[in-house]
């Protein structure tokens, strides 16, 4: 059944609630912002007047039967899926739900080692056993790309009892794998395909972009509309194609972990973002693609920078490329990406998505325009003229982060095992009891159950020297690490 994609059932219900001027004797306790006037004055009273709780006119995310259900059906149709589930705990909860819907404790899942921390936490929650495949790498850029069809085929051949194949579409920097062929291969062996499409929310809405996972036959996909689709931070959607996975199982799993007090601000923004993408997406994204193409041309004229793009297609791990991801290699400056990231923020008031050892990443999305792009290009020209460093250890540290660790214990067993705290400098050879990662991008350097190597320790200390934001350790300063043992 085709729906009218101009409709916004949930957002319209929110507006109708607001117009009624209901007297609230339910939660939340701020009562339309009256309880926090300073905050209401800053963000606007209307925002807080629609920050409400579930009620009959607004439906309930745990068992949607009216306006949320209608909004989810519109979302599913927009993404060529059979079902859509709104998420207010971010794509993290969607990724975890995908894994938990398919894998029972002790069952295998084939997964690239450059998956986000949400996938690692999904392994802990489900008890699934990871079969890691090494993503292809680009030595010049020092970053992981997609996975090859051959590496997936080899993993399936060695693990015919695996329940699922997990794919990233696209990677943080915009590379996609051959999802269509991977889906065919996995389905041939009775395995489901789960896709982390956190950075591909815009894919279905422009012909020059890579195809979305649902279009390519994947069974489930977790999509961050807040990242590139225009909805509010933390709002996301879980998509399902019927067949190998039962819709009611997914619903049950979601109700295990998702809040019963879902934010209507977040869900309402999903409804509006979906309408915008379907009705205006091609026009808006045409403008964005033109801006990023022009930006690459201009940046590549600046000494010390290389803005990479579609010329990577055909190289290992790059089946297609998302040009809205403006990745810029900075090795020609003799600076690290971390240093350029800090310079842009501190000296030019520009916040890019991330910096790594050799690159920075600017995400260009539906809210960008010419002025913001021009400001970035101008800042990079100025940095090229004023700031230079020594290339020294850049390449060495970039390559360390890409090595595939040795898995000794399953993530779940390591998480629940007895642990002790040791100095990071003394942890070589130990089995990690916790994760360490730089955020963003949130891809673990080490996860629970993996052997800690000398190279990992060096790389973590290098990240600290670059003032990178390290997360997930008990010790906030990462001087110590929890390892398995009494």
Domains of the chain, start order: 63-277 (3.40.640.10), 405-484 (3.90.100.10)
Q: Phi/psi at 172 (nearest 5 deg)?
A: -50, -40
* pLDDT value of position 467: 82
Which burial class, exposed, middle or buried, applies to 187 when counting CB atoms under 10 A from its CB (0-12, 13-18, 19+)?
middle
Do residues 161 and 191 touch, judged by C-beta distance below 8 A? no
Nearest to 273 by CA among 230, 315, 232, 319: 230
Model's pTM, two decimal places? 0.94
DSSP state of 79: T
> Residue holding tokens 């920050």?
51
> Residue holding tokens 């001087």?
479
Structure tokens at 70: 């209608």
**Mean pLDDT of successive 10-residue stretches along the chain, which has 486 residues:** 88 96 93 95 95 95 97 98 96 96 96 91 94 91 93 97 97 97 98 97 98 97 97 97 95 93 97 98 97 98 97 97 97 92 97 94 95 97 89 55 77 93 94 88 87 90 85 91 88
Which secondary structure element, helix H or strand E, spans residue 14, and what is its range?
Answer: helix 9-20
């Amino acid at each position: 059944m085709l729906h009218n994609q101009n409709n916004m059932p949930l957002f319209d219900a929110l507006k109708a609630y607001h117009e009624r001027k209901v007297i609230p004797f339910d939660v939340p306790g701020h009562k339309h912002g009256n309880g926090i006037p300073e905050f209401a004055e800053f963000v606007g009273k209307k925002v807080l007047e629609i920050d409400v709780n579930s009620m009959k006119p607004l439906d309930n995310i745990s068992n949607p039967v009216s306006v949320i259900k209608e909004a989810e059906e519109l979302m599913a149709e927009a993404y060529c899926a059979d079902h859509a589930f709104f998420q207010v705990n971010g794509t993290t909860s969607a990724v975890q739900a995908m894994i938990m819907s398919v894998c029972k404790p002790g069952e295998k899942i084939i997964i690239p080692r450059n998956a986000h921390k949400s996938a690692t936490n999904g392994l802990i929650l489900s008890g699934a056993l990871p079969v890691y495949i090494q993503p292809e790498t680009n030595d010049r850029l020092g970053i992981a790309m997609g996975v090859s069809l051959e590496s997936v085929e080899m993993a399936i051949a060695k693990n015919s009892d695996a329940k699922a194949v997990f794919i990233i579409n696209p990677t943080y920097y915009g590379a996609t794998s051959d999802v269509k062929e991977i889906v065919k291969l996995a389905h041939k062996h009775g395995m489901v395909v789960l896709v982390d499409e956190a950075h591909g929310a815009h894919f279905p809405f422009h012909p020059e972009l890579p195809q979305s996972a649902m279009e390519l036959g994947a069974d489930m996909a977790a999509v961050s509309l807040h990242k590139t689709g225009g909805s509010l931070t933390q709002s996301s959607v879980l998509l399902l194609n019927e067949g190998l996975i039962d819709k009611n199982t997914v619903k049950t799993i979601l109700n295990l972990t998702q809040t019963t007090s879902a934010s209507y601000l977040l869900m309402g923004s999903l409804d509006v973002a979906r309408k915008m993408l379907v009705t205006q997406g091609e026009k808006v994204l045409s403008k964005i693609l033109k801006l990023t193409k022009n930006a690459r041309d201009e940046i590549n004229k600046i000494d010390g920078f290389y803005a990479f793009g579609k010329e990577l297609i055909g190289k290992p791990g790059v089946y297609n490329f998302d040009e809205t991801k403006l990745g810029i290699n900075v090795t020609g400056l003799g600076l690290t990406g971390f240093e350029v990231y800090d310079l842009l923020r501190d000296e030019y008031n520009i916040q890019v998505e991330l910096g790594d050892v050799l690159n920075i990443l600017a995400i260009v999305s539906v809210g960008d325009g010419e002025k913001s792009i021009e400001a970035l290009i101008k800042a990079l020209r100025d940095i090229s003229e004023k700031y230079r460093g020594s290339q020294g250890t850049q390449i060495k540290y970039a390559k360390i982060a890409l090595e595939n660790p040795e898995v000794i214990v399953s993530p779940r067993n390591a998480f629940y095992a007895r642990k002790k705290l040791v100095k990071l400098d003394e942890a070589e050879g130990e089995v990690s009891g916790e994760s360490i990662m730089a955020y963003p991008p949130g891809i673990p350097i080490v996860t629970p159950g993996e052997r800690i190597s000398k190279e990992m320790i060096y790389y973590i200390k290098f990240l600290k020297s670059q003032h990178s934001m390290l997360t997930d350790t008990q010790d906030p300063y990462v001087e110590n690490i929890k390892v398995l043992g009494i």
